[in-house]
Amino acid sequence: MTSSLYFDRPSIDQMEKRYRAQFINSLAGFKSANLVGTVDQDGHPNLAIVNSVIHLGANPPLMGMVTRPRTVERHSVENILDTGYYTLNQVHGGMIRPAHQTSARYLRGQSEFDATGLKPSYLEDHPAPYVDESRLKIGLKLLECKHLEFNNTDFIVGEIVAVHVEPNVIQPDGYVDIEALDAVTISGLDSYHRTERLERLAYAKPDQPPRPLDD
């Protein structure tokens, strides 16, 4: 067996700030890549990439998202709290560079759409902008914002009120084949990856061994 490196908490705390951020962010594995679309009360659109979106439940349909700490400017979060609406737009392989560029710290009122060349799209009377280039677009309504005191971040809970997705990727059982959309994942802070499905497995039961879903 190959020997492993060992890091205790003091050694982690002693890491250089950016090195530590990259190191710790890499430990959680591959994460989804989404662009959060918002608009302020004056109608100015905002766009930011996030890798902390999670599924919270299907009935009602909910998604969660962890924000940056309150110690920095958070235009997207403030827009969500002010308007109550936002969108999540999945990033595919053809848009990773402009999507990544939205992480730059643009001034308030400066549109990341304009800065990156991505196109805003307003659909179905949803007040927040979608990203036209995205192949899976989700409209959400804010349900709750929970402050996490231990690291001064917030956990945003949104209700899914609209979904726009290409029809050929939805399987008969409801599974959305995001790999067919060329969806990418993120590891660390800046590494983008395509995926390769190994297999889908049937619903696990105590008295049966794992089996491929298509058997």
pTM over cut 0.75:
yes
Q: What percent of the chain is predicted at pLDDT more than 90?
A: 84
Residue 163 domain-assigned? yes
Residue 16 domain-assigned? no
Query: Tokens in use for 167?
Result: 């029809």
pLDDT tens sequence across 14-28:
999 999 999 999 999
- CATH number of the domain at 78, please: 2.30.110.10
Per-residue confidence (pLDDT) for residue 106, from 0 to 100? 83
Residue 208 domain-assigned? no
Residue 4 domain-assigned? no
pLDDT tens sequence across 132-169:
999 999 999 999 999 999 999 999 999 999 999 998 99
Give the C-alpha separation, 192 to 45, whole Å: 25
Residue 198 domain-assigned? no
Query: Tokens in use for 32?
Result: 């989804």
Residues 6+ apart with CB under 8 A from 171: 177
- State which residues form the domain around 117: 23-193
pLDDT for residue 198 is more than 60 = yes
pLDDT tens sequence across 167-183:
899 999 999 999 999 99
Residue 50 domain-assigned? yes
Per-residue confidence (pLDDT) for residue 1, from 0 to 100? 63
Count: domains in the chain: 1
Query: Tokens in use for 100?
Result: 């990544």
Residue 129 domain-assigned? yes
pLDDT for residue 190 is more than 80 = yes
Residue 171 domain-assigned? yes
